[in-house]
Structure 1
């Protein structure tokens, strides 16, 4: 089985080397598709040291377009039997891949979400209002998709390769609305969605956290939009 790990990156010079080291050290046959989404810090320079790694392919956007745009760039190039999304900020650890992959390998799931809210492991405690917003967005998304997810905004998601192949040309969202759009489209097509607990190492805004209030509003709009539009 070939695993495609998709890594959207924007201004992550402090963590990009470590996340790529952890990804490449996970067991199994894999390709790693890194999309530098117009970083303005030292990310591009750090990525140069990885460009000859046999498992890694690097793509670059000349300007920042958003996480959704970075994922679309990578999805167009993936070759794997399974595709995992891995953010570059280390809020999610590549050591969790086995938990995400198991329901797919067992033939039970087409899509697996790594939930921050069903894990029994330790996690950093941060931002009450982020938690409230996430729960509201997840509840509304579940109402419109008829799923019962606990964490629609999780950044650790795994898909069978054929799922990505089926939906990638329909994806439209450039920013964090991509999380809602992906969920709506896999639900609409009747794919089997599983959830498993993952550990979460949240960052503060001082440490580089990027999602904000405007992204929450966009998520609400996307919940409604993709209920009736593909």
Structure 2
């Protein structure tokens, strides 16, 4: 524990208020139980279990404990609050300290030697005397893949919170910093963080004859209405140095009835890194695609080519089979129709190797297309689904249906663990990757590509049948990403 040498009068007032009312603050009442439960639930949605987690502003310790951390550390400026939480959760580490004091925190035997996977600033941003300095101090506790979660109340709720204090439903607090989501985002960027997503929850943060459940799960997640919610969550990551890392790569080419494109795919593939593994996965073709794959593999002995036939069906099954055999650091999907030119893959690799993004998605809807490259109805479907998924995922997507996606193999393993949350719902494979990446707070980057017309074969997509499936997946995603949390 630490002795706090110098703190502001406002923080002294906060400590005095908290320690005078610690019983009331740490207990659950009919008015705060709903809010605290929903707040813990959404933090748990944002944070994977078994990570190294630091929570600044510990409350009664329940938030940190609910995240099931591998290493859990809580920091608070109230000595009595720390003692209360430490007694309640003896397996976790609670420290009496002011996060604004960087020098002392780095000397702590646990915190000073630890780089955290997740840092949560829970309602403490309102007390910071210098928010930019606080964020900069947190930087010293982060590694390149750390996620900073800032949870705070929306400033237009200020008058209602003051009213709750006046009638005794909430402990009176000293004046707080009034911050919009944009304010938080801009200060985070000044401090070396990059905001990934912004979320809003708790339209009605107290029980209201069951109506709170309806409003929170439905209206509170809809565009327009969600800005009226009490709770704001900003997720950020440290700015990357963009120093290129020498990753190896695996290029997966799922193919069905694509005989005429097999050799062209590797002839056109640039040598964008020192070690490129190419994996063809053939799926029940009727035009001799498998035989062509074997011929090409023999014809190019200097290339690291592997070939597999899937026993299951669908692109998702083919991609998962290939990734289970892949040895590269970076996983890349290249559709065998070559409507996304292989020559574009170095752009995707550059984003990952430089740290600009964690999940790279191609977008075909920026540049003009070749005649017949995308049918008009397909174009409309892409636009519609892009808007829906941008809303659902809280990151911008212009072309979710582009087959070219690139990410680290280590992140693929994490994404696959999200199947327990989402279920096995995606026959295409695109959306379970996108949804998983979003839930993991991975930074999504879109790379514009020039979409080309097929030179061989016919599309494997049945527009109307697959469109119905996609609509079902949108509903499924809404239930999982918005309604259930």
Under a length normalisation based on structure 1, what TM-score does the superposition of the two structures give? 0.88
Q: 1:111 aligns with which of 356, 359, 362?
A: 359
Name 2:318's counterpart in structure 1. Answer: 70
Are 1:210 and 2:460 counterparts? yes
Output the CA distance in 2 between the equivalents of 1:168 and 1:151: 22
Output the CA distance in 1 between the equivalents of 2:432 and 2:475: 10
5+ residue gaps, structure 2, are: 1-246
Output the CA distance in 2 between the equivalents of 1:228 and 1:179: 18
Larger radius of gyration: 2
Name 2:441's counterpart in structure 1. Answer: 190
C-alpha displacement at 1:174, in angstroms?
6.1
Higher RCO (CA-CA < 8 Å; seq separation 6+) = 1
Name 1:7's counterpart in structure 2. Answer: 253
Name 1:135's counterpart in structure 2. Answer: 383
Q: 1:35 aligns with which of 278, 281, 294?
A: 281
Output the CA distance in 1 between the equivalents of 2:439 and 2:335: 25
Aligned partners of 2:310 and 2:321 also within 8 Å:
no
Under a length normalisation based on structure 2, what TM-score does the superposition of the two structures give? 0.44
Change in CA separation of 1:202 and 1:39 when aligned onto 2, cut-off 3 Å: same
Name 2:331's counterpart in structure 1. Answer: 83
Aligned partners of 2:272 and 2:346 also within 8 Å:
no
Q: Deviations over 1:18-60 (max 9, x none)?
A: 112223x534220011100121211111111133434111010
CA RMSD of aligned residues (A): 2.2
Q: Deviations over 1:117-171 (max 9, x none)?
A: 224xx53133211100111111111221112111111111111221112223638
Change in CA separation of 1:190 and 1:5 when aligned onto 2, cut-off 3 Å: same
Name 2:74's counterpart in structure 1. Answer: none
Output the CA distance in 2 between the equivalents of 1:160 and 1:210: 27
Output the CA distance in 2 between the equivalents of 1:81 and 1:21: 22
Output the CA distance in 1 between the equivalents of 2:290 and 2:266: 14
> What is the number of residues matched between the two proteins?
224
Q: 2:307 aligns with which of 52, 58, 61?
A: 58
Name 1:225's counterpart in structure 2. Answer: 476
Aligned partners of 1:67 and 1:174 also within 8 Å:
no
Name 1:166's counterpart in structure 2. Answer: 414
C-alpha displacement at 1:109, in angstroms?
0.8
Output the CA distance in 1 between the equivalents of 2:476 and 2:305: 35
Name 2:432's counterpart in structure 1. Answer: 181
Output the CA distance in 1 between the equivalents of 2:479 and 2:410: 23
Aligned partners of 1:153 and 1:179 also within 8 Å:
yes
Output the CA distance in 2 between the equivalents of 1:202 and 1:174: 26
Q: Aligned with 2:332: secondary structure?
A: strand
